[in-house]
Amino acid sequence: MSKLIYILNGPNLNLLGQREPEIYGYETLNDLAETCTKVASASGLSVKFLQSNFEGQLVDWIHEARHTAVGIIINPAAYSHTSIAIHDALKSFEGRTIEVHISNIHRRESFRHHSYVSLCVDGVIAGLGLHGYELAVESMSRLLD
Ligand code: DQA
């Protein structure tokens, strides 16, 4: 049976392809989900790909993953910079964790430079566009080997 990973996406990422495409690209969240699912299945992983604009929903999915998944890839979007709740939830998760940002948050406004999530994940990928998700899935597969 293939191992399950969660790919969690935070607020406004439902607007991928429409919102600031010069920063976040022209692909939609559905396109991204499809690509991640393909890349994951080539590595023997199955994916639960989710997006929410609500902090508590992301926390609930992390709690759910504690019982069902071996890894979490998360783009917490703006909550990266504000959410101690997501930080604490991730600390309760015993599997492997990777944070992804489409843009290079360190080259943008100073309020994006700090991520509470980076303090508690195994790895961080930023600034490589949507390709960063594919890299995260491949890296997750290696971390799980
Ligand atoms: C983002 C970067 C965040 O600062 C921003 O709030 C987002 C997306 C990224 O993927 O580059 O919504 O996480």
The C-alpha atoms of residue 24 and residue 92 are separated, in whole angstroms, by 30
pLDDT of residue 1: 72
Instruction: Sketch the domain layout of the chain as residue ranges.
Output: 3-144
pLDDT in 10s for each residue of the chain, 145 residues: 789 999 999 999 999 999 999 999 999 999 999 999 999 999 999 999 999 999 999 999 999 999 999 999 999 999 999 999 999 999 999 999 999 999 999 999 999 999 999 999 999 999 999 999 999 999 999 999 9
Dihedral over alpha carbons 144, 34, 101, 143 (to 10 degrees): 10
- Compute CA distances 15 → 20, 41, 97, 111, whole Å: 9, 26, 24, 21
- Which of the listed residues 7, 8, 9, 13 should we mutate to test ligand 1's pocket, taking the one with most ligand atoms within 8 A of CB? 13
Q: State whether CATH 3.20.20.140 applies to domain 3-144.
A: no
Strand ranges inside 1-134, DSSP E: 3-9, 45-51, 71-75, 96-101, 123-126
Tokens standing for residue 79: 């909550």
- Please state the atom number of ligand 1 nearest to the C-alpha of residue 78: 6
Pocket of ligand 1 (CB under 6 A): 12, 75, 77-78, 80, 101-103, 105, 112
From atom 8 of ligand 1, which residue's Cα is the shortest distance away? 77
* Residues labelled as active-site residues: 24, 101
Distance 99 CA to ligand 1 centre (A): 11
pLDDT of residue 120: 97
pLDDT of residue 2: 86
